């Protein structure tokens, strides 16, 4: 039986630095747990544009379609700000999501006990927080037509179209219900049915899908009210399902409840392949942070936890995923902090590589 395959796309900025720490974990799993991966590496984003003139080469796209999972670091940077929109680094990531048909974006917001004081909210509001936002990823206003900047009379007008089909809403809703069944059987759907026809359709379809999941408690909330409730009492939620635009906004808001974007992973899942596993792309929520690239200041935890999600959802290795998450928790409990998490008294500042080494040491101690 062949080893599971993994395509690594470190990307730009701090991407290569945080991905190097994931490689240490992959090496440890092979050496100590007998879990071998067929790992290949390629370019995406600005570095791909520098070499190929496009943010994602066709050959790389073909590889991504063939492997069991893709792990991506980050894309972009000020060097590429003046490029034509069609070849900006972010277009490489969007192409991966679109052509792999990764329609369900899973973004957990979990507050580790050691970081409860680091959130901008009161400790009792965020301590023990563990929610999951499921964001529709391949449709909605980011992809709808017509779109563009047009001349209208004597001025320009920018147009983006919010568009959803019943089938697009149905499949992401089912992903969210399935996830809720494995958690606390509680799902909140968020849209703007009070002012948007797409929101009305969203609510109707999610309600209809809910009839197939009678054990899941389904509620509906307007997305702006959801943002307010996330900052008031986030622990009222377990799984949230929402569209592409609102999911982008709400998941970033939820991310900051935990104290740092450097802590948060994500998974983008599509339809099952022949082996039954979903097509999948895993990436940290944070960006390329070009201002600290190459300085050893980046927090690798979000990228490492993204790999933990890959272990759970793509490689049927939930026990190893939990082992890795517990190692991260143990390192934080010991007071080790990268630059984004400094501010508390009595913590120990560490570099990107030192954080990765400490997590591998905790994995070793877990045996």
The CATH number of residue 91's host domain is 3.40.718.10
Query: What Å distances lie between residue 182 and 16, 143, 175, CA to CA?
Result: 34, 31, 11
Tens-digit pLDDT profile for residues 9-56: 999 999 999 999 999 999 999 999 999 999 999 999 999 999 999 999
Q: Is residue 192 annotated as part of the catalytic site, yes or no?
A: yes
Q: Is residue 248 annotated as part of the catalytic site, yes or no?
A: yes
- Which residues does the annotation place in the binding site for NAD(+)? 77-90, 287-299
Q: Is residue 42 annotated as part of the catalytic site, yes or no?
A: no
- Which residues does the annotation place in the binding site for substrate? 97, 107, 135, 224
Q: Which of 218, 240, 257 is the last residue of a domain?
A: 257
- Which residues does the annotation place in the binding site for Mg(2+)? 224, 248, 252
Q: Is residue 243 annotated as part of the catalytic site, yes or no?
A: no
Q: Which of 12, 248, 313, 340 is an active site residue? A: 248
Q: Which of 130, 170, 252, 357 is an active site residue? A: 252
Q: Is residue 316 annotated as part of the catalytic site, yes or no?
A: no
Query: What Å distances lie between residue 353 and 24, 263, 350, CA to CA?
Result: 10, 16, 8
Q: Which of 42, 49, 68, 142 is an active site residue? A: 142
The answer as to whether 78 is a domain residue is yes
Q: Does residue 225 contact residue 77 with C-beta atoms inside 8 Å?
A: no
The pLDDT value recorded for residue 343 is: 76
The pLDDT value recorded for residue 114 is: 83
The answer as to whether 111 is a domain residue is no
Q: Which of 192, 213, 238, 282 is an active site residue? A: 192
Q: How many other CB atoms sit within 10 Å of the CB of residue 362? A: 20
Total number of domains in the chain? 2
The answer as to whether 246 is a domain residue is yes
Strands 69-74 and 278-284: parallel
- Kindly state whether residues 87 and 194 are assigned to the same domain: no
Q: Which residues of the chain have pLDDT under 50?
A: none
- Which residues does the annotation place in the binding site? 77-90, 97, 107, 135, 224, 248, 252, 287-299
- Burial class, 253, CB count within 10 angstroms (exposed 0-12 / middle 13-18 / buried 19+): middle
- Kindly state whether residues 270 and 215 are assigned to the same domain: no
- Kindly state whether residues 326 and 364 are assigned to the same domain: yes
Whole-number Å distance between alpha carbons of 137 and 312: 20
pTM flag (> 0.85): yes
CB burial of 128-155 (b: ≥16 within 10 Å; e: otherwise) equals: ebebbbbbbbbbbbbbbeeeeeeeeeee
Q: CA triplet 225, 256, 133: central angle to 5 degrees?
A: 60
The pLDDT value recorded for residue 275 is: 75
Domain range enclosing 53? 1-102+264-367
Q: How many other CB atoms sit within 10 Å of the CB of residue 294? A: 11
Helices 197-210 and 166-182 cross at an angle (nearest 10°) of 50
- Kindly state whether residues 366 and 274 are assigned to the same domain: yes
- Kindly state whether residues 193 and 303 are assigned to the same domain: no
The pLDDT value recorded for residue 5 is: 96
Q: Does residue 296 contact residue 334 with C-beta atoms inside 8 Å?
A: no
Whole-number Å distance between alpha carbons of 242 and 162: 13
The pLDDT value recorded for residue 78 is: 95
The answer as to whether 123 is a domain residue is no
Q: Which of 257, 288, 307 is the last residue of a domain?
A: 257
Q: How many CA atoms lie within 13 A of 216 on its CB side?
A: 31
């Amino acid at each position: 039986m062949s080893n599971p395959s993994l395509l690594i796309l470190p990307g730009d900025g701090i991407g290569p630095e945080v991905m190097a720490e994931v490689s240490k974990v992959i090496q440890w799993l092979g050496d100590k747990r007998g879990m071998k991966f067929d790992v290949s590496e390629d370019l995406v984003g600005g570095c791909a544009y520098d070499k190929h003139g496009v943010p994602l080469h066709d050959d790389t796209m073909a590889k991504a379609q063939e492997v069991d999972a893709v792990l991506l670091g980050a894309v972009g940077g000020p060097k590429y700000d003046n490029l034509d929109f069609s070849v900006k680094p972010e277009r490489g990531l969007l192409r991966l999501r679109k052509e792999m048909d990764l329609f369900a974006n899973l973004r957990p917001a979990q507050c580790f006990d050691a970081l409860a004081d680091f959130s901008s909210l009161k400790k009792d509001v965020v301590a023990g927080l563990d929610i999951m936002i499921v964001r529709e990823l391949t449709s909605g206003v980011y992809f709808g037509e017509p779109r563009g900047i047009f001349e209208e009379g004597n001025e320009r007008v920018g147009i983006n179209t919010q568009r959803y089909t019943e089938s697009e809403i149905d499949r992401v809703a089912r992903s969210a219900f399935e996830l809720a069944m494995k958690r606390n059987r509680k799902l909140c759907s968020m849209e703007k049915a009070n002012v948007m026809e797409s929101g009305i359709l969203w609510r109707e379809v999610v309600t209809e899908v809910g009839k197939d999941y009678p054990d899941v408690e389904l509620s509906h909330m307007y997305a702006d009210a959801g943002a307010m409730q996330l900052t008031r009492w986030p622990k009222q939620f377990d799984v949230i399902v929402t569209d592409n635009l609102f999911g982008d906004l709400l998941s970033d808001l939820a991310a900051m409840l935990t104290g740092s974007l450097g802590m948060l992973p994500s998974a983008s899942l599509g339809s099952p392949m022949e082996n039954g596993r979903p097509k999948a792309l895993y990436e940290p929520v944070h960006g390329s942070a070009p201002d600290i690239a190459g300085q050893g200041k980046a927090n690798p935890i979000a990228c490492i936890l993204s790999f933990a999600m890959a272990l759970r959802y793509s490689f049927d290795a939930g026990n190893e995923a939990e082992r890795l998450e517990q190692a991260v928790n143990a390192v934080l409990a010991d007071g080790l902090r990268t630059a984004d998490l400094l501010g508390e008294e009595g913590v120990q500042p560490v570099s990107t590589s030192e954080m990765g080494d400490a997590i591998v040491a905790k994995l070793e101690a877990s045996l």
